[in-house]
Chain A
Amino acid sequence: MSPEQMIERLKSHFPNAQIEVYDLTGTQNHWEVAVESSAFKGQSRIQQHQSVMAAFGPELKTGEVHALSIKTKVKED
């Protein structure tokens, strides 16, 4: 996936979130993503990470996204 596609996908799952995407290896399949969203309010760390990974369900299954390092933060609005 391209960085733009990654951001688009995260935007669709986390509207008005702050999103950063970083290609760890330049091969567009080892990603680090940082998502700051009010949607995380009240969620445990695991739930926050699970919801970010859920955004890439198909790609994680096929391996198109091989590695996904996640940083989440609750956005106070």
Chain B
Amino acid sequence: MDTKARIEQILSENPVVLFMKGTPNFPQCGFSARATAILQDLGVTFHSVNILEDQELREGIKAYGNWPTIPQLYIKKQLVGGSDIMMEMYQSGELQEALKN
């Protein structure tokens, strides 16, 4: 299965997906840690993908959504953005809205 198909399968099987460095319990980068903390604070169940363990996905996801950095959040197969946008949306309440339905 090629990378794009793998990504699309992950996105279709999980409404909320965070591509990150490390795991929610052991984030390996400050921005990934911040993104995880936001989702945990909202009590959202999310599927995390540790791109440090999957080089193919690490490069594939960057090309897939035309977003060259990690972490990246997807909600219902839509790219939401990196930790900056997540923080802005979290502070404005938009993220809570996007996660509601």
Residues on A lying within 8 angstroms of B by beta carbon are 45-46, 49-50, 53, 57, 60-61, 67-71
Contact = CB atoms under 8 A, between A and B. Distances in A.
Contacts of B30: 67
Interface residues of B, number: 15
Nearest to A50: B66
Interface of B: 29-31, 66-69, 79-85, 88
Main SS class of interface, B: mixed
A69 B84 contact: yes
Nearest to A45: B85
Contacts of A70: 84
Given A45-B88, A49-B82, A57 B68 contact: yes
B89 to A, nearest CB: 8
Contacts of B29: 67
A60 B69 contact: yes
Contacts of B66: 50
B85 A53 contact: no
A58 to B, nearest CB: 10
Contacts of B81: 45-46, 49
Contacts of B31: 67, 69
B67 A68 contact: no
B68 A67 contact: no
A53 B69 contact: yes
14 contacts: A45-B85, A46-B67, A46-B79, A46-B85, A49-B81, A49-B82, A50-B67, A60-B69, A67-B30, A67-B31, A67-B69, A68-B69, A69-B84, A71-B84
